Amino acid sequence: MKNLPCGRTTEDVLLNLDEPADLHELQCRWCHAERQRLKDQNGFITQLLESSTPEHQPEAFSQRILAKIADRSPFQRMWDVQEAGTGLAKRLSSLDLIKAIRAVFSESTTPQLNYAEIKATDTGIPHLNWSVQCHVSMAGNSSVQIIEQQTLDYVRRAMSSLISWKELVVNLVIEDLHGEAIDSITLRGEN
Amino acid sequence: MEPSRQTMLVSRSMEGDPEAFGELVTALTPGLRQYCKTFFSSWHDAEDAAQDAWIRAWQSMGSLRERAAFKTWLYRMARNICLDRIRQRANGQQTVDDEVLERTPVPEHELPENLAVQRGEIADAWQIINRLPSALRQAFVLVALQGMSYKEAALVTNVSESTVRGRLARARNAISEAVS
């Protein structure tokens, strides 16, 4: 590491290269020049690294990955259910049910569904009792009471469009913009 | 990719949606591949490790607790895969320490003759990066190349933020000396 005439070293400048210059650096022409030199050289290498990275075909790579994961343990559970309307026995995955819930939520502008989990809570076939976890974030002009009501209503609608059910427990988690939970409540519905 | 879009895709992937997962793969693989390259001399090995990291990620999505931290979670997984592979290659010895591995540059015979190179002579900047010990390479690629914060890079590499800061400074100094 080089010693600068002002008493600082290249290392001092390097350690804070990603931070704004401190008062000394702002006033010191040696530090200022050193910072510029280091930024210039490192920027040059960064650009070179980007340009000398061999070409990659992300779409083809993704297709390969998707082909590989297709037959690997999906963390999906399959459920024996009774189809709404026809009453026929059917098997649906958690994802099938969650997609139906997402479709209903997508029509709404107030609660936004961030994440959902679903599982049957009875041991019977077909399953009639369900627990759904919904992580939602809400628009600024909405209230928790409205979100609770809407979430329960949306889940009920989604479930009813696909399957026959008796009891529904919705664990609602309200999240902030960063996905941090700010409130949670358990809602119940019966059919 | 917008962070909110990424978090949404992570959520849908956790729900088991392969299409959302595929979109994540497409968006994040270029960076992941670069990170894996810090462990190997060949791009083929890096891509192979990245592929395994994605497959392991798919199988472990259920264990992800913080959706917003997906990227560091994925990179940590990739790091473990890369270190395991290096260990396996070290004559099957299982006792190679992480710290020893991280001090190791890529094998000498794959490097150019001279450390110092003129700007006009640089055919492949990765040759310069390869001269650095692995820990410095990782810090440089994660922060300087991929724009991770010190905190995120620290989480990926399992060290403190101040260690990342020090490693990055040393990497930048070495690079600066190599190109001046």
Q: Do A41 and B22 touch (CB under 8 A)?
A: no
Predicted confidence at residue B4, as pLDDT, reads 81
Per-residue pLDDT tens digits for B54-77: 999 999 988 898 888 999 999 999
Predicted confidence at residue B99, as pLDDT, reads 59
Three-state DSSP at B177 gives helix
Predicted confidence at residue A119, as pLDDT, reads 94
Using a CB-CB cut-off of 8 Å, the residues of chain B touching A46 are 144-145
Using a CB-CB cut-off of 8 Å, the residues of chain A touching B62 are 75
ipTM, 2 dp = 0.78
Predicted confidence at residue A173, as pLDDT, reads 94
Q: How many beta-carbon pairs under 8 angstroms link A with B?
A: 133
Report residues of chain A scoring pLDDT below 70. Answer: 73-75
Per-residue pLDDT tens digits for B106-151: 444 333 333 444 444 555 678 888 888 989 999 999 999 999 999 9
- CA-nearest residue to A56 within chain B is B30
Is this model's pTM higher than 0.80 or not? yes
Predicted confidence at residue A114, as pLDDT, reads 92
User: For testing the chain A interface, which of B131, B173, B177 should be mutated: the one with the most A CBs within 10 Å?
Assistant: B173
User: For testing the chain B interface, which of A3, A4, A38, A42 should be mutated: the one with the most B CBs within 10 Å?
Assistant: A42
Cα–Cα distance for residue pair A121/A79, rounded to 1 Å: 11
Predicted confidence at residue B105, as pLDDT, reads 54
Using a CB-CB cut-off of 8 Å, the residues of chain A touching B123 are 52
Q: Which residues of A158-183 are buried (b: 16+ CB within 10 A; e: fewer)?
A: bbeebbbbeebebebbbbeeebeeee
Using a CB-CB cut-off of 8 Å, the residues of chain A touching B45 are none
The maximal CA–CA distance of chain B, rounded, in angstroms, is 51
Predicted confidence at residue B101, as pLDDT, reads 56
Q: Do B25 and A59 touch (CB under 8 A)?
A: no
Predicted confidence at residue A76, as pLDDT, reads 73
Judging by beta carbons within 10 Å of its beta carbon (0-12, 13-18, 19+), is residue A85 exposed, middle or buried? exposed
DSSP chain A: -PBPTTS-BHHHHHHTTTSPP-HHHHH-HHHHHHHHHHHHHHHHHHHHHHHTSPP--HHHHHHHHHHHHHTS--S--EEEEEBTTT--EEEEEHHHHHHHHHHHHTT-SSEEEEEEEEEE-S-SSS--EEEEEEEEEE-TT--HHHHHHHHHHHHHHHHHHHB--SEEEEEEEEE-TTS-EEEEEEEEEE-
Residue B95: pLDDT band with limits 50, 70, 90: very low
**Type of residue found at A87:** G
Predicted confidence at residue B161, as pLDDT, reads 96
In this complex, the residue of B55, B126, B128 whose CB is nearest that of residue A65 is B55
The maximal CA–CA distance of chain A, rounded, in angstroms, is 86
Predicted confidence at residue A46, as pLDDT, reads 87
